[in-house]
Amino acid sequence: MINILGIGPGDLNLMSIKSKEIIEKSNILIGGTRNLKPFKNLNKELFYIKSSMKEVLDFINLNLNKEIAILASGDPMLYGIGKYLSENLDCEINIVSGISSMQYIFSKLKISMNDIYISSTHNKRPDFDFLLQHKKIVMVTDKEVGPYQIAREIEKRNLRRKMIIGENLSYEDEKITILNSNEVKDIEYNLNVVVILDE
Ligand SMILES: C[S@@+](CC[C@H](N)C(=O)[O-])C[C@H]1O[C@@H](n2cnc3c(N)ncnc32)[C@H](O)[C@@H]1O
């Protein structure tokens, strides 16, 4: 069986009991370096996802007789590998949802997620004209388009928004910064989620 498990934003206490049970029973764990790190000392074969998803598919297809758990950060179906794998694997799969980094930050902020617009700059450039029409937005980001670049898109349109930058969420060095879009600096940010509010 191929299991795709949402392991939450990082703190293992936020992972579901179901995902933990499946990990314990699995022979092979597949994931990125950050996601596999807490499980390095379990007696399991580890396969690290690098850049090629084709490599991951080939590895899975060669090991279909084993119990495989693919560890996805947050929720696998929210800008995660769940979509690609469920569309490209020709075998039975089980997906277990997890707490997304985007859900996590809203609980920390005590702001509801009702009517929110969810997007991403991860490997893509969103349509900011469309995006900024929404009053409450949350985005996962990458190194190319992060908090500073998002703030510039807001300012370029002569808009002003409140921005919340959530770095390393749920880890010991978690940092949540609340700024106006004109105050966001061009500095290096850690792994982050950005919330944009039109208040
Ligand atoms: C490929 S997306 C995966 C999103 C994931 N499926 C989720 O639901 O959180 C990767 C991006 O998620 C965000 N992310 C994931 N974990 C995070 C964390 N602990 N703190 C801040 N951002 C995080 C970052 O923007 C990162 O670049």
What pTM does this model have?
0.95
Give the pLDDT confidence of 121-150 residue by residue, as tens digits: 988 889 999 999 999 999 999 999 999 999
Assign domain 102-197 to its CATH architecture: 2-Layer Sandwich (3.30)
**pLDDT attached to residue 21:** 97
φ/ψ (deg, to 5) at 153? -60, -35
For residue 91, report the distance from its CA to the centre of ligand 1, in Å: 27
> Ligand 1, closest atom to CA 140?
25
Give the pLDDT confidence of 55-106 residue by residue, as tens digits: 999 999 999 999 999 999 999 999 999 999 999 999 999 999 999 999 999 9
Would you kindly state where each structural domain of the chain is located, as residue ranges?
A: 2-99, 102-197
Does the pLDDT at position 1 exceed 90?
Answer: no
Does the pLDDT at position 199 exceed 90?
Answer: no
For residue 75, report the distance from its CA to the centre of ligand 1, in Å: 9
Q: With a 6 A CB cut-off, is 101 part of the ligand 1 pocket? A: yes
Q: With a 6 A CB cut-off, is 73 part of the ligand 1 pocket? A: yes
**CATH top class, domain 2-99:** alpha beta
Does the pLDDT at position 117 exceed 90?
Answer: yes
**pLDDT attached to residue 141:** 97
**pLDDT attached to residue 177:** 98
**pLDDT attached to residue 97:** 98
* Cβ density class 130-147: b for 16+ within 10 Å, e for less: ebbebebbbbbbeeebbb
Q: With a 6 A CB cut-off, is 144 part of the ligand 1 pocket? A: no
Q: With a 6 A CB cut-off, is 105 part of the ligand 1 pocket? A: no
What Rg value do the Cα atoms of the chain yield, rounded?
18
Give the pLDDT confidence of 7-39 residue by residue, as tens digits: 999 999 999 999 999 999 999 999 999 999 999
> Ligand 1, closest atom to CA 171?
19
**pLDDT attached to residue 187:** 97
